[in-house]
A and B are shown apart, each in its own frame.
Chain A
């Protein structure tokens, strides 16, 4: 089923990403071996000029991956009409064994790309490019991941057969089936709410503390990164366990994808976009901290980290507000007072 416009677009984005990283791999090796900022040789001059090309190229490629995650989910959602048994994105992703791995790989690439872009950003602002080597070494680590993600995605799209009867959210997220998603779905609402609001509150508090401290404290930055990761997991668990129930006003429908459907006013995007942005910002703040002591970055990292903290705190706060509003609006009574 490759001749679907959105699938062609996604494969195009993946191919561009893999090609871009492949093209920059030899350059990355060259930089790691030969980079010497103090030298005024012809080769160093050339390397310096080329870093502009490759950092622009990689910014483009990785930004494209960020957009591709959204398109991937959007497309899975739309294609659910074509498979017997599929009612939302879950059914489409379940058509073969590569669907959910493809989504997870894309999300992983999304966060890693965000972290790399943050490191690239501070490096390009420092006068002596102190992180060039680190940056390109990290890129060489990122390249196989991106290629793997593209390969899984291709396998998934190649394996999309319209005659497969797939199972949808009703069976995947029902309590009692032996999957992680089902475990999270069967989490009782009260502990899930504690976990959700607790971890979001903690993430907001740590981010605010870090931000108001001028972004200087390294330990709070790491705490913010850890808090963001935890808040991300807790929010997904919370959506599975209770948020979805309130949105559908149905005590047993735990699907995290149906909320993206037009029937529910695309509410899911209100929830997921701030969550992903905030988590990426939190993780990025952690990713730039190891380099905070480098001389030329001493001035740059705290300011950048402070801004990331503001994005993370506001994003998580927005997530919490959106969830609370959804619960408020709902006519479902899950907890008796």
Chain B
């Protein structure tokens, strides 16, 4: 075992020295390799962080949301509807929610108007989200008017601005009292937008949804788990698409690696010839080349991954953001929580190191079977 280790150490020593002799060539390959790892790991790190963020945000949302459907479209909850839901075992709380969208012609963006269940502002006052604060230049105690859909102008005083920490969910939010909301939208009395149900036991959620569907055939229950699953699939799918597109880059890289490995310089050929003449076997040359590939791969992988980490978590993934994040006028600014996942690292390794190894296999062998006499004679 010791002998084996010592042999590998000498091989690595020799390989490093031989790599250093051809600096420019190897640095070129290393740079391309690093960039490839950087791109791929930026994509996976970023989507994974987004997925985590979505999951984190949704943990506080109600377990079940019920919407009423009319002709397949989302409709208001009429008076008496909540009572019809009745008492379902396992449901802790049931409440009608009031919210809607408002298009602001000034910023050309949609806001979400909402009546919070607790701590609602008093009539005539609103609490706004951070993105709205930025886009309209608002501050506490400023006044702002919105023209409602009926054409009337409504003025509000900004009572507070929501904290930055909640920006991912509150960027475009405007919180107001029930009275203001109903007056602004001419919302019919006793009607609600949808119903939120809190269910304590996660295993009961599906049963509650089944009971709801039985009791109210025109209702559409939306489960939080389903929303989470949809988010996860969407981000996975986006990530997969980007990776599939980048597979062209992987292929190009494979071709480059093949070319680099097969275009042995005369000097390198002579080196291998001399090595074989002084007693190296074909297997030894392959081993040396194997170490060469491994050293380059690991260096590129580590450098690329660290660069991607910095890119995603310190520079907000500026390069891939538009594709992966989605788009909106009032897009929330948010800091992603750094997170490295074992599966992702393993997958990345499969995506980068395996194609490289496959590409250089044949050229390595071709180099290794070089006959000493033919090289030295030429």
Q: How far is the CB of B320 from chain A (nearest CB, A)?
A: 14
- The main secondary structure of chain A at its interface with chain B is helix
With a cutoff of 8 Å between Cβ atoms, the chain A residues found around residue B225 in the complex are: 84
| B240–A4 CB distance below 8 A | yes
A8 located at the interface, meaning its Cβ lies under 8 Å from any Cβ of chain B in the complex: yes
Q: Is the CB of B365 within 8 A of A52?
A: yes
If A74-B343, A81-B232 touch, whether A3 touches B286 (CB-CB below 8 Å) is: no
A16 to B250 alpha-carbon distance, docked (Å): 14
- B240 pairs with A5, CB closer than 8 A: yes
When chains A and B are docked, how far (Å) is the Cα of A81 from the Cα of B341?
A: 15
Tell me which residues across on chain B come within 8 A of A147, comparing CB atoms. none
Q: Are B236 and A4 in contact (CB under 8 A)?
A: yes
Q: How far is the CB of B3 from chain A (nearest CB, A)?
A: 12
A12 at the interface (CB under 8 A from B): yes
Instruction: Specify which of A4, A74, A162 is in contact with B346 (CB 8 Å cutoff).
Output: A74
Interface 0/1 of A65-88, CB less than 8 Å to B: 001001100110010011010000
Rounded to whole angstroms, the CA-CA distance of A127 and B89 in the bound complex is 78
Question: Within 8 Å CB of A16, what residues of B?
Answer: 354, 358
Chain A proximity of B294: nearest CB distance (Å): 12
Interface string of B239-258 (1 = CB under 8 A from A): 11101100100000000000
Quick one: which of A13, A78, A162 contacts B354, CB cutoff 8 A?
Answer: A13
Decide if B344 is an interface residue (CB 8 Å cutoff): yes
Known: A49-B282, A52-B365. A5 touches B344 (CB 8 A): yes
Decide yes or no whether B10 CB sits under 8 A from chain A: no
For residue A74, give the distance in angstroms from its CB to the closest CB of chain B: 5
The answer to whether B350 and A71 have CB atoms under 8 Å apart is yes
Chain B contact surface mostly:
helix
**With A5-B44, A49-B369 in contact, do A74 and B357 touch (Cβ < 8 Å)?**
no
Name which of A9, A49, A60, A70 has the most chain B CB atoms within 10 A of its CB: A9
Known contacts A52-B369, A71-B350, A82-B232; A60 and B343 CB within 8 A of each other: no
A3 to B347, CA, bound (A): 13
- Report yes or no: B239 in contact with A52, Cβ–Cβ below 8 A: no
Q: Quick one: given A3-B241, A5-B239, A56-B361, are A82 and B350 in contact (CB under 8 Å)?
A: no
CB distance from B8 to the nearest CB of A (A): 16
Within 8 A of A (CB), among B6-52: 44
Closest to B236 in A: A4
Contact for A78 among B244, B282, B343, CB less than 8 A: B343
- List the B side residues contacting A84 at CB < 8 Å: 225, 229
Residues facing A in B337-373 (CB within 8 A) are 342-344, 346-347, 350-351, 354-355, 357-358, 361-362, 364-365, 368-369
Query: Which positions 245-281 of chain B face chain A at CB distance < 8 Å?
Result: 247
**What residues of chain B lie closer than 8 Å to A70, measured between beta carbons?**
346
For window 1-52 of A, CB contacts with B under 8 Å fall at 1-10, 12-13, 16, 49, 52
Query: B303 in the interface, Cβ–Cβ < 8 Å?
Result: no
Given that A52-B368, A60-B358 are contacting pairs, would A3 and B240 also be in contact in the complex, using a CB cutoff of 8 Å? yes
Complex interface bits, B277-295 against A, C-beta within 8 A gives 1, otherwise 0: 0000011001000000000
Q: A52-B368, A56-B286 are in contact. Are A5 and B347 (CB under 8 A)?
A: yes
Q: Within the complex, which residue of B243, B283, B286, B357 is in contact with A5, where a contact is CB–CB below 8 Å? A: B243
Return the contact of B350 from the options A2, A12, A60 (Cβ within 8 A): A12
| Complex CA distance for A13 and B241, rounded to whole angstroms | 19
A229 located at the interface, meaning its Cβ lies under 8 Å from any Cβ of chain B in the complex: no
Shortest CB-to-CB span from B235 to chain A, Å, is 11
User: Across the interface, do B342 and A74 meet the contact criterion of CB distance under 8 Å?
Assistant: yes
Closest residue of chain B to A125 (Cβ to Cβ) is: B283
| Contact status A3-B237, CB under 8 Å | yes
Residues of B within 8 Å of A52, CB to CB, are 282-283, 286, 365, 368-369
Residues of A within 8 A of B166 (CB): none
> In the complex, which residues 290-314 of chain A have their Cβ closer than 8 Å to any Cβ of chain B?
none
- Determine how close the nearest CB of chain B comes to the CB of A73; give it in whole angstroms: 10
**Residues in chain A near residue B236, CB distance under 8 A:** 3-5, 82
Q: Which residue of B lies closest to A71 (CB)?
A: B346
Q: Separation in Å of the A129 CB from the closest CB of chain B?
A: 12
Q: Is A124 an interface residue (CB 8 A)?
A: yes
Which residues of B lie under 8 Å from residue A71 when comparing CB positions? 343, 346-347, 350
The answer, yes or no, to whether A53 is at the interface (CB within 8 Å) is yes
**Is B222 an interface position by the 8 A CB rule?**
no
Q: A64 at the A/B interface (Cβ < 8 Å)?
A: yes
Is residue A154 within 8 Å, beta carbon to beta carbon, of the partner chain?
A: no
Instruction: Enumerate chain A residues within 8 angstroms of B355, measured Cβ to Cβ.
Output: 12
Question: Is A139 an interface residue, CB under 8 A from the partner?
Answer: no
Point out the residues of chain B lying under 8 angstroms from A56, CB to CB. 286, 361, 364-365
**Is residue B207 contacting chain A, with contact meaning CB distance below 8 A?**
no
Residue pairs across A and B with Cβ atoms less than 8 A apart, 19 shown, are: A2-B240, A3-B241, A3-B244, A5-B236, A6-B343, A6-B346, A8-B240, A8-B247, A9-B347, A10-B350, A13-B354, A16-B358, A49-B282, A56-B361, A57-B361, A60-B358, A71-B346, A82-B233, A162-B233
4 more A-B residue pairs beyond the given contacts A52-B283, A82-B236, A84-B225, with a C-beta to C-beta distance below 8 A: A9-B347, A9-B350, A13-B350, A74-B343
